[in-house]
């Protein structure tokens, strides 16, 4: 996914949970943010369907790589974004993995296949927001 800003600008915007409701379509808000952006930072995503996963930053290598893990009941999701310089800005790569246990275990692989579509749509929104804030 192309972002028309530097890797540092894209990284700082996407890694900060305060910004998430602006670009992530499934969120109404975030709560209980545990301090500044860092490994171990945690927060709660308040989703439109009413789910409230506990999120945590598990990897932070500014401006190259950022990973978060979210848990809600029997589902754990991990999202990694990788940032690389590119002409006119940067490229943001996405890796997503979901695991489900109990009765939800059979839907884990399906969710893993479908989730990147939603993430890419949200990243397009984020790229458009940053393009307006930082016009070339």
| Total domains, the chain | 1
Q: Residue 12: give the domain boundaries.
A: 2-133
Tell me how far apart the alpha carbons of residues 106 and 48 are, in angstroms, rounded to a whole number. Answer: 24
26-52 confidence digits (pLDDT tens): 889 999 899 899 999 999 999 887 788
Question: For 41, which DSSP code?
Answer: -
pTM across the whole model: 0.88
What CATH code is carried by the domain that includes residue 107?
A: 3.30.530.20
Quote the CA–CA distance of 41 and 107 in Å, as a whole number.
28
pLDDT tens-digit series, residues 77-99: 899 999 999 999 999 999 988 77
């Amino acid at each position: 996914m192309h972002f028309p800003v530097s890797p540092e600008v894209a990284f700082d915007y996407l890694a900060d949970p305060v910004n998430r409701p602006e670009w992530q379509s499934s969120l109404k808000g975030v709560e209980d943010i545990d301090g500044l952006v860092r490994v171990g930072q945690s927060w709660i995503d308040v989703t439109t369907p009413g789910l409230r996963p506990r999120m945590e930053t598990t990897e932070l290598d500014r401006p190259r790589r950022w990973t978060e893990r979210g848990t809600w009941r029997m589902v754990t999701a991990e999202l990694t974004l990788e940032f690389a310089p590119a002409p006119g800005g940067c490229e943001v790569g996405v890796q997503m993995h979901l695991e489900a246990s109990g009765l939800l275990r059979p839907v884990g692989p399906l969710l893993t296949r479908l989730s990147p579509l939603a993430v890419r749509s949200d990243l397009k929104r984020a790229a458009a927001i940053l393009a307006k804030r930082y016009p070339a």
